[in-house]
Amino acid sequence: MTIRAALRRDTFAPQRRRMVERLAKAGLCDARVLAALETVPRHQLLPEALQVQAYTDTALPIGDGQTISAPGIVGLMTAALALRSEDRVLEIGTGSGYQSAVLSRLAAQVISVERLPGLAARARRSLDTLGVANVVVHLGDGSLGRPADAPFDAILVTAGAPAIPPPLLEQLAPGGRLVAPIGTREEQRLFRVRRTERGLVRENLGRCRFVDLVGANGWAA
Ligand code: SAH
């Protein structure tokens, strides 16, 4: 890292702390998730011109028509997964790698799938630069899950789908949690599904808006 880059990184720390304080005030109360958000330098996952906006609670464009999710929703979804340090997590939609980096702080291993080659390659490089060693990025259609690596303790879909992709439910371990935005292309509800001894339990966590999940169990390209 150049000295200039190191200085720039340091100068963002107070902004990042204030962002985390605002999210806590707004109701995000999971201390481990807040701590994880405070350690991930979101600006380093953004194009240079957008770095000054890194610590506002908004989604921002990352190229290829995709977005980095807003920190508040990243925190909410991460908290909903109730991660334990030994968990293996499947993430669908690597995008910038921001959500993957947050998950990596709270779980043993993160397997992330991205369908766009340019974003997958960039996210891999960014995660390497951040020294994140427990995230593997795969190129492919995440709406099929990753049968070879299943089952997963937690599954997070970070793109909106018309319905929960059936393979993801099949790949959820006993006691596992899945969080996914489900609805129309314009608006979704964030759902959490838990695999309990008595079957799948589904909860609606509220409204949200994500870019499309494009694939066999998502929307057509
Ligand atoms: N988690 C990301 C947000 C990414 S936006 C972040 O923190 O930056 C959603 C991402 O899902 C986009 O990069 C999009 O290309 C990807 N995506 C859409 N459909 C997909 C699919 N079927 N499989 C894998 N990735 C998909």
Segment 160-207, tens digit of pLDDT: 999 999 999 999 999 999 999 999 999 999 999 999 999 999 999 999
Predicted local distance difference test score (pLDDT) of residue 5: 63
What are the chain's domains? 3-208 (3.40.50.150)
Task: At 172, list the tokens.
Answer: 């959820």
- Mutation probe of ligand 1 site: the residue of 214, 217, 219 with most atoms within 8 A of C-beta: 214
Cα–Cα dist 136/127, whole Å: 10
**Structure pTM?**
0.96
For ligand 1, whether the C-beta of 215 sits within 6 Å is yes
Predicted local distance difference test score (pLDDT) of residue 11: 86
Cα–Cα dist 39/220, whole Å: 36
For ligand 1, whether the C-beta of 172 sits within 6 Å is no
Our answer to whether residue 69 is catalytic in this structure is yes
| Bridge partners (DSSP) listed for residue 139 | 114
For ligand 1, whether the C-beta of 113 sits within 6 Å is yes
51-107 per-position pLDDT tens digit: 999 999 999 999 999 999 999 999 999 999 999 999 999 999 999 999 999 999 999
- Mutation probe of ligand 1 site: the residue of 92, 127, 143, 168 with most atoms within 8 A of C-beta: 92
For ligand 1, whether the C-beta of 217 sits within 6 Å is no
Residue 130: which pLDDT band, with cuts at 50, 70 and 90? very high
- 91-102 residues labelled b (16+ CB within 10 A) or e (exposed): bbbbbbbbbbbb
Is the pLDDT score of 9 beyond 90?
Answer: no
Specify the 3-state DSSP secondary structure of 137.
Answer: strand
- Mutation probe of ligand 1 site: the residue of 115, 139, 141 with most atoms within 8 A of C-beta: 115
Q: What's the CA-to-centroid distance between 115 and ligand 1, angstroms?
A: 7
Smallest CA separation from ligand 1 atom 13, residue: 95
For ligand 1, whether the C-beta of 109 sits within 6 Å is no
Residue 2: which pLDDT band, with cuts at 50, 70 and 90? low
132-154 per-position pLDDT tens digit: 999 999 999 999 999 999 999 99
For ligand 1, whether the C-beta of 104 sits within 6 Å is no
